[in-house]
């Protein structure tokens, strides 16, 4: 760990930024020292991205000051920021896949004589930049011929090639596997010892605790706290991020209990045994009983959606077993999952859910029609009947059934998707963030619908970022962190606090790697 | 009537909106011609067949209408089929070669020459099946590239657009075979049934088939769903790939029939000439008819009206003996106007497509076809 006495490299004081209708940053402060890895934490919408945009000159702050090495800075573009020594590597590798490594490293700053590029020198410079990260690559090869992890390293090498003093890493590990993450953290450690300051943005808690010296937490655009990592227990970090203090969480516990009394039939419908992708995700072990609502809880990026995808056949599991109604299954496509009686409303309603330019009626009959196949077309009368039935029972607000779905509000679009799947009478219904971005009224209606469906014997796999909602709705909660299952809570044991504690519990050593069996 | 099959089952406002501008443009063009061309609207019975300018439009436009039918479904899935012209040539050349004894003897052996000589009727039936099947198979190749190998439709079909004519040349060995000795085949492009050109009956039959296929099965809904949101359709359990595969196969079949009409109309099958630039006329017909190139909602009747509009324009220029290179300009402007009037979203695309000299040879091809008929 670096000494606290080191002079601050970057000081941010009182920075604010307002977008029309949103206070994205409100009096934010941050102090980052030389030779320090500083984690910037916060849930979605906390203001991390806006702060980075202000730092890199993509957006300009409304007020406050930023000092780099004691000098006030006010970058107006990423180029400005680079010129003063702030370089950024983004989550998605921000390079040109079809150019060579050397071209990528020198893009925009080729060594030239009278406008002609000196290729020999460009290659030498590229090699030198990579050597700083202990990389020895053929810089003439196309960037895309290297793995994502190496591309990420190359992006870092490019960022450092500008005499950077401060390196911002924005979610650099989200597409990397375990070994690649290890490599990247190793590089970060080496750069830190060279005296570079690193601002590390990630959702992966374990990585924060492995590498960072200090943590700054933001919430709803405001500064919450800055602490040394060693002095900030995980539970406190999480409660700082979600804005509930530990005592308040305990109080809610009692409230939530009432919702768990629901009786299930006690028969197992779905059983996951070691489900996952070796080295990347899992293993997941959980059961869903008939008529039971099971929640998948965890922070963003913890692998909730990926788990749903394995069950629904979007991304079939690479390892482990899945039992549905006593039989071994591994749906290879949504169609195969549908044939088993599994339905799913996806997290990304716009991209993967609605057919925007088709009518409410057509959107509702789609799944049922695709199960019936091409030739057994639902009659016009039956389609109208189905549409009207669900418009009434789910209280879908639309002028009429022929309205295009894109003209509906988010909540009503979600209800149309629910109707689409209810029409096939699924046995297991996966709801991925069904209440995200919809108004409170519709939210309540959807929660109520879940209870009614469960009473009728339908099993539900419920995913939500709102832990309170998970605690209220589910009779069993599978808790995830960093794409690993960290525990299961049942009945009385479910509470928002218990979920948070489980997310925060320190990792169980190398268990995850051992468990990656077939 | 097939028209009603397609429009009645669809929400009337959307179909009405899609059809309004092309129909209006067509009517205005006909009114213009009726005012300035003597006897333009006159249709009379000559030797048991109806004749007149209007009948010419239908007869000359038969092939484009057919190709536009298949193209409508392809564009509905968000794709495009540039190879229809080449497929027309393949079907035409195959049919012409199979009634040429020299080719039969060289390629298939003496038994084929004998078979043709002894059972000409059965042989003609066989060659129709063979050439249309070939067209469908070639369409399936497109479907394979697009749906299984995920090649971009414009590239996948461009490959066949270029190599398809090579394939046709390979079949006929560079020869231009004639239909002169086979009147039953010439009947396809030149014959008359119940007073109307036989090719028009073929168009009507294919139109009914397409309408039934898309509106009486779930194919129409599935095409529109896949075309509008591929990923969401996959999540809803649709076989997006199979559907794409099917529409390219169907487009190939439609092009095959169109190739037989075009070649038998001029009594010869020139691998370099049959169906040349038809893909562009067909795409225009579909777009003018209200189907967006981005996929989703498609309008079969709109495409037929679009094809008739384009053919009427071509024939109008022909009537006024406008030089082909000059004729392109008013034709282009009218098509552009219809597209712009129809939807603001079309503007960018239409401008992009028009920058290519899209009709330089299509006009000649159509004129030649019209002249021979």
* Chain A residues with beta carbon closer than 8 angstroms to that of B234: 333-334
Decide: B249 and B242 in contact? Cβ < 8 Å: no
Residue of B232, B238, B293, B294 to mutate, interface with A, max A Cβ within 10 Å: B232
Partner A contacted by B174 (CB < 8 A): no
Tell me, yes or no, whether A194 and A166 share the same domain: yes
Q: Report residue A174 as tokens.
A: 């989200």
Average pLDDT of B176-201? 81
ipTM value: 0.79
Task: Give the per-residue pLDDT at B255.
Answer: 95
Q: Is B193 left (phi over 0), alpha (psi -120 to 50) or beta?
A: beta
Distance spanning both ends of chain A, measured CA to CA: 39
Tell me, yes or no, whether A105 and A57 share the same domain: yes
Task: Give the per-residue pLDDT at A463.
Answer: 92
Q: Given an 8 Å threshold on Cβ–Cβ distance, is A356 in contact with B231?
A: no
Greatest mean pLDDT among A107-116, B47-56, B212-221, B335-344 lies in B212-221
Q: What is the CATH number of the domain that holds A83?
A: 3.40.50.300
Tell me, yes or no, whether A386 and A498 share the same domain: no
Residue A85 lies in a domain: yes
Question: Which of B259, B264, B260, B316 is closest to B282 using CA atoms?
Answer: B259
Query: What's the total number of domains in chain A?
Result: 3
* Chain B residues with beta carbon closer than 8 angstroms to that of A364: none
Decide: A383 and A358 in contact? Cβ < 8 Å: no
Partner B contacted by A444 (CB < 8 A): no
Answer yes or no: is pLDDT of B243 > 80.
yes
Chain A with chain B: Cβ pairs closer than 8 A: 81
Task: Give the per-residue pLDDT at B34.
Answer: 84
Tell me, yes or no, whether A167 and A48 share the same domain: yes
Decide: A40 and A48 in contact? Cβ < 8 Å: yes
Residue A62 lies in a domain: yes
CA dist., res. B80 & res. B156, Å (int): 9
Find the DSSP H helices in B216-323: 219-228, 230-235, 240-266, 278-288, 300-319
Phi, psi of A354 (to 5 degrees): -80, 155
All residues at 6 or more sequence positions from B261 whose CB lies less than 8 Å from its CB, including other chains? B62, B63, B66, B188, B189, B199, B202
The one-digit pLDDT tens for each residue of chain A (518 residues) are 444 566 789 999 999 988 766 678 889 999 999 999 999 998 766 788 889 989 988 888 888 899 998 889 988 888 888 888 898 888 766 788 888 888 888 887 788 888 888 888 888 888 888 888 878 888 888 888 887 778 888 888 888 887 789 999 988 876 677 777 888 888 889 889 988 999 999 877 888 999 999 999 998 888 999 999 999 888 788 888 877 766 665 555 445 444 555 455 578 899 998 888 887 887 899 999 988 999 999 877 788 888 999 999 998 888 888 999 889 998 999 999 999 999 999 988 888 999 999 999 999 999 999 999 889 999 999 999 999 999 999 988 888 899 999 888 778 899 999 999 999 999 999 999 888 767 666 777 888 899 889 888 899 999 988 788 888 889 899 999 888 888 898 888 888 888 888 888 765 443 333 333 33
Higher pLDDT pick, B178 / B155: B155
Convert the pLDDT of each residue in B34-79 to its tens digit: 888 887 777 788 877 788 888 888 888 999 999 999 999 999 999 9
Convert the pLDDT of each residue in A269-284 to its tens digit: 999 988 888 878 878 9
The distance of A356 to chain B (nearest Cα, Å) reads: 7
Tell me, yes or no, whether A169 and A216 share the same domain: yes
Residue A348 lies in a domain: no
Question: Which of B335, B305, B304, B329 is closest to B317 using CA atoms?
Answer: B329
Convert the pLDDT of each residue in B149-169 to its tens digit: 989 999 999 999 999 999 988
Partner A contacted by B216 (CB < 8 A): yes
Decide: B189 and B264 in contact? Cβ < 8 Å: yes
Question: Which of A387, A449, A9, A485 is closest to A214 using CA atoms?
Answer: A9
Lowest mean pLDDT among A414-428, B254-268, B315-329: B315-329
The distance of B3 to chain A (nearest Cα, Å) reads: 18
Question: Which of A28, A22, A25 is closest to A10 using CA atoms?
Answer: A28
Question: Which of A122, A131, A118 is closest to A160 using CA atoms?
Answer: A131
Question: Which of B170, B187, B165 is closest to B279 using CA atoms?
Answer: B165
Residue A80 lies in a domain: yes
Residue of B236, B238, B240, B343 to mutate, interface with A, max A Cβ within 10 Å: B236
Partner B contacted by A353 (CB < 8 A): yes
| Model pTM above 0.90 | no
Partner B contacted by A338 (CB < 8 A): yes
Partner A contacted by B3 (CB < 8 A): no
**Tokens 């305990």 -> residue:** A250
* Chain B residues with beta carbon closer than 8 angstroms to that of A378: 218
Interface of B with A in 220-259 (CB under 8 A): 221-222, 224-225, 228-229, 231-239
All residues at 6 or more sequence positions from A206 whose CB lies less than 8 Å from its CB, including other chains? A481, A482, A507
Of A370, A404, A425, the residue that ends a domain is A425
Number of other CB atoms surrounding residue B9 within 10 Å? 14
Q: Given an 8 Å threshold on Cβ–Cβ distance, is B219 in contact with A374?
A: yes
Answer yes or no: is pLDDT of B238 > 70.
yes
Residue A1 lies in a domain: no
Q: Given an 8 Å threshold on Cβ–Cβ distance, is B296 in contact with A357?
A: yes
Mean pLDDT computed over every residue of chain B: 82
- Closest residue of chain A to B227, computed from CA coordinates: A355
Tell me, yes or no, whether A260 and A378 share the same domain: no
Tell me, yes or no, whether A418 and A437 share the same domain: no
Of A228, A244, A260, the residue that ends a domain is A244
Tell me, yes or no, whether A371 and A226 share the same domain: no
Tell me, yes or no, whether A229 and A130 share the same domain: yes
**Which of B228, B231, B235 is nearest residue A357 as measured by Cβ atoms?**
B228
Specify the pairing of strand A63-68 against strand A8-19: antiparallel
Q: Given an 8 Å threshold on Cβ–Cβ distance, is A380 in contact with B9?
A: yes
Of A244, A269, A299, the residue that ends a domain is A244
b/e code B101-133 from CB counts within 10 Å (16+ = b): eebbeeeeeeebbeebeeeeeebbeebbeebbe
* Chain A residues with beta carbon closer than 8 angstroms to that of B293: none
All residues at 6 or more sequence positions from B362 whose CB lies less than 8 Å from its CB, including other chains? B276, B277, B278, B280, B281
Tell me, yes or no, whether A178 and A85 share the same domain: yes
Q: Which domain holds residue A197?
A: 8-244
Tell me, yes or no, whether A143 and A237 share the same domain: yes
Residue A25 lies in a domain: yes
Partner B contacted by A404 (CB < 8 A): no
b/e code A233-270 from CB counts within 10 Å (16+ = b): ebbbbbbbbbebeeeebeebbeebeebbeeebeeebbb
Answer yes or no: is pLDDT of B370 > 50.
no
Domains and CATH numbers, chain B: 2-37+49-372 (1.10.3470)
Residue A194 lies in a domain: yes
Tell me, yes or no, whether A212 and A301 share the same domain: no
DSSP string across A26-63: EEEEEEEETT-EEEEE--TTSSHHHHHHHHTTSS--SE
Number of other CB atoms surrounding residue B198 within 10 Å? 18
Task: Assign B365 a pLDDT band (cuts: 50, 70, 90).
Answer: very low
Residue A446 lies in a domain: yes
């Amino acid at each position: 760990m670096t000494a606290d006495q080191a002079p601050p490299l970057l000081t941010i004081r009182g920075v604010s930024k307002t977008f029309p209708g949103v206070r994205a940053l409100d009096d934010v402060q941050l102090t980052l020292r030389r030779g320090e890895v500083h984690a910037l934490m916060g849930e979605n919408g906390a203001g991390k991205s806006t702060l980075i945009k202000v730092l890199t000159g993509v957006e300009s702050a409304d007020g406050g000051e930023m000092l780099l090495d004691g000098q006030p800075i006010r970058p107006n573009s990423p180029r400005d920021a680079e010129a003063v020594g702030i370089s950024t590597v983004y989550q998605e590798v921000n390079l040109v896949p079809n150019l060579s490594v050397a071209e990528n490293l020198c893009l925009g700053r080729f060594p030239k004589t009278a406008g002609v590029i000196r290729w020999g020198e460009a290659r030498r410079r590229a090699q030198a930049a990579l050597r700083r990260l202990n990389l020895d690559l053929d810089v003439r090869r196309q960037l895309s011929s290297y793995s994502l992890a190496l591309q990420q390293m190359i992006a870092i090498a490019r960022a450092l090639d500008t005499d950077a003093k401060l390196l911002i890493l924005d979610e650099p590990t989200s597409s990397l596997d375990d070994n690649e993450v290890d490599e990247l953290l190793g590089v970060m450690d080496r750069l830190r010892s060279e005296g570079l300051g690193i601002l590390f943005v990630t959702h992966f808690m374990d990585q924060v605790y492995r590498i960072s010296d200090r943590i700054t937490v933001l919430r709803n655009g405001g500064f919450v706290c800055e602490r040394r990592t060693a002095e900030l227990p995980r539970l406190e970090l999480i409660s700082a991020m979600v804005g509930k203090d530990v005592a308040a969480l305990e109080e809610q516990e009692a409230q939530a209990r009432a919702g768990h009394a629901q009786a299930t039939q006690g028969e197992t419908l779905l059983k996951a045994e070691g489900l996952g992708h070796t080295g990347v995700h899992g293993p997941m072990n959980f059961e869903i009983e008939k008529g039971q609502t099971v929640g998948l809880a965890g922070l963003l990026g913890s692998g909730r959606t990926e788990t749903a995808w394995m069950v629904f056949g979007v991304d079939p599991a690479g390892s482990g077993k899945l039992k549905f109604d006593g039989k071994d299954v591994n749906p290879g496509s949504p169609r195969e999952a549908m044939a088993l009686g599994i339905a799913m409303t996806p997290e990304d309603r716009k991209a993967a859910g609605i057919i925007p330019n088709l009518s409410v009626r057509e959107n509702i009959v789609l799944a049922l029609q695709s199960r019936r196949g091409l030739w057994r077309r639902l009659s016009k009368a039956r389609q109208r009947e189905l549409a009207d039935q669900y418009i009434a029972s789910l209280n879908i607000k639309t002028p009429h059934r022929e309205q295009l779905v894109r003209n509906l509000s988010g909540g009503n679009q979600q209800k149309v998707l629910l109707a689409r799947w209810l029409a096939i009478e699924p046995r297991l219904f996966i709801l991925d963030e069904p209440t995200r971005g919809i108004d409170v009224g519709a939210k309540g209606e959807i929660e109520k619908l879940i209870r009614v469906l469960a009473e009728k014997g339908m099993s539900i796999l419920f995913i939500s970022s709102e832990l309170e909602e998970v605690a209220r709705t589910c009779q069993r909660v599978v808790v995830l962190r960093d794409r690993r299952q960290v525990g299961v809570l049942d009945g009385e044991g479910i509470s928002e606090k218990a979920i948070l504690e489980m997310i925060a519990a320190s990792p169980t050593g190398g268990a995850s790697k051992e468990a990656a069996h077939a | 009537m097939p028209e009603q099959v397609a429009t009645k089952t669809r929400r009337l406002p959307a179909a009405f909106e899609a059809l309004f501008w092309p129909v209006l443009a067509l009517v205005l063009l006909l009114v213009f011609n009726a005012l300035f061309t003597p006897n333009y609207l006159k249709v009379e019975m000559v030797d048991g067949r109806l004749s007149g300018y209007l009948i010419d439009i239908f007869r000359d436009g038969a092939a484009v209408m057919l190709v536009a039918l298949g193209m409508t479904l392809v564009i509905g899935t968000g794709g495009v089929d540039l190879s229809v012209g080449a497929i027309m040539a393949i079907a035409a050349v195959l049919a012409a070669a199979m009634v040429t004894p020299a080719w039969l003897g060289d390629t298939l052996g003496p038994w084929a020459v004998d078979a043709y000589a002894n059972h000409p009727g059965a042989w003609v039936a066989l060659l129709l099946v063979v050439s249309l099947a070939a067209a469908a198979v070639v369409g399936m190749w497109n479907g394979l590239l697009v749906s299984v190998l995920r090649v971009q439709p414009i590239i996948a079909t461009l490959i066949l657009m270029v190599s398809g004519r090579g394939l046709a040349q390979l079949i006929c060995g560079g020869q231009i075979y004639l239909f002169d000795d086979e009147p039953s085949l010439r009947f396809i492009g030149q014959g008359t049934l119940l007073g109307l050109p036989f090719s028009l009956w073929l168009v009507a039959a294919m139109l009914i088939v397409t309408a039934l296929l898309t509106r009486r099965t779930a194919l129409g809904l599935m095409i529109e769903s896949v075309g509008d949101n591929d990923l969401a359709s996959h999540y809803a359990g649709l076989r997006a790939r199979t559907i794409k595969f099917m529409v390219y196969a169907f487009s190939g079949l439609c092009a095959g029939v169109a190739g037989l009409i075009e070649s038998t109309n001029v009594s010869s099958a020139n691998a370099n000439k049959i169906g040349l630039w038809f893909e562009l006329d067909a795409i225009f017909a579909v777009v003018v008819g209200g189907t967006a190139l981005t996929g989703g909602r498609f309008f079969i009747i709109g495409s037929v009206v679009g094809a008739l509009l384009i053919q009427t324009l071509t024939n109008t220029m022909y009537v006024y003996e406008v030089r082909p290179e000059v004729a392109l300009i008013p034709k282009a402007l009218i098509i552009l106007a219809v597209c712009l009037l129809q939807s603001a979203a079309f503007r960018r695309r239409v401008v992009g497509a028009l920058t290519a000299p899209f009709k330089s040879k299509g006009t000649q091809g159509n004129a030649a076809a019209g002249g021979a008929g």
